A = this chain, B = another copy of it.
Amino acid sequence: MLDTPKANRLHIAIFGRRNAGKSSLINALTGQDAALVSPMPGTTTDPVFKAMELLPIGPVVFIDTAGIDDQGELGELRVERTLRVMDRTDLALLVVSPPAGDLSMEREWLEGLKGRGIPVVGVCNKVDVGGMDLGGLEGELGIRFVPVSARTGEGIEFLKEAIQEAVPEGWERDTIVGDLLSPGQVVLLVAPQDIQAPKGRLILPQVQVMRDLLDHRCVGVMATAGELGVSLEFFRRGGGYPDLVITDSQVFHIVKEKLPPEVPLTSFSILMARYKGDLKTLVDGARAVMSLKDGDRVLIAEACTHHPLKGDIGREKLPQVIREMSGAELGFDVVAGNDFPRELRGYSLVVHCGGCMLNRKHMMSRIMRARSHGVPMTNYGVLLALRSGILDRAVGMLLPSG
Interface residues of A (CB under 8 A from B): 174, 183-184, 186, 191, 195, 197, 199-202, 207-208, 210-215, 217-224, 226-227, 230-231, 234-235, 237-239
Contacts and interface: CB of A to CB of B under 8 A. Distances in A.
Contacts of A174: 199
B208 A200 contact: yes
Nearest to A275: B200
Contacts of A208: 200-201
A239 B237 CA distance: 7
Given A186-B234, A237-B237, A237-B238, A217 B226 contact: yes
Nearest to A230: B184
B214 A222 contact: yes
Nearest to A208: B200
A246 to B, nearest CB: 13
Given A202-B211, A211-B202, A224 B217 contact: yes
A227 B217 contact: yes
A219 B227 contact: yes
Contact of A207 (B186, B202, B217): B202
A211 B195 CA distance: 9
Contacts of A231: 219
A32 to B, nearest CB: 32
B201 A207 contact: yes
For the residues of A in contact with B, the DSSP-based class is mixed
B219 A210 contact: no
Per assembly, the copies of the chain total: 2
Nearest to A239: B237
Contact of A191 (B201, B214, B223, B234): B214
Contact of A219 (B211, B217, B234): B234
A118 B238 CA distance: 53
Contacts of A201: 207-208, 211
Contacts of A200: 207-208, 211-212
Contacts of A230: 184, 186, 219
A389 to B, nearest CB: 27
A200 to B, nearest CB: 5
Contacts of A195: 211, 214-215
A234 B238 contact: yes
Contacts of A186: 230, 234
A89 B200 CA distance: 27
Nearest to A218: B227
Given A210-B222, A219-B227, A219-B234, 15 more contacts: A174-B199, A186-B230, A191-B214, A195-B215, A197-B211, A200-B211, A201-B208, A202-B211, A207-B207, A217-B224, A218-B223, A219-B223, A219-B231, A221-B222, A238-B238
A219 B219 contact: no
Contacts of A217: 224, 226-227
Contacts of A202: 207, 210-211
7 contacts: A184-B230, A191-B214, A201-B207, A217-B224, A220-B221, A221-B221, A222-B222
A221 B220 CA distance: 6
A235 B219 CA distance: 12
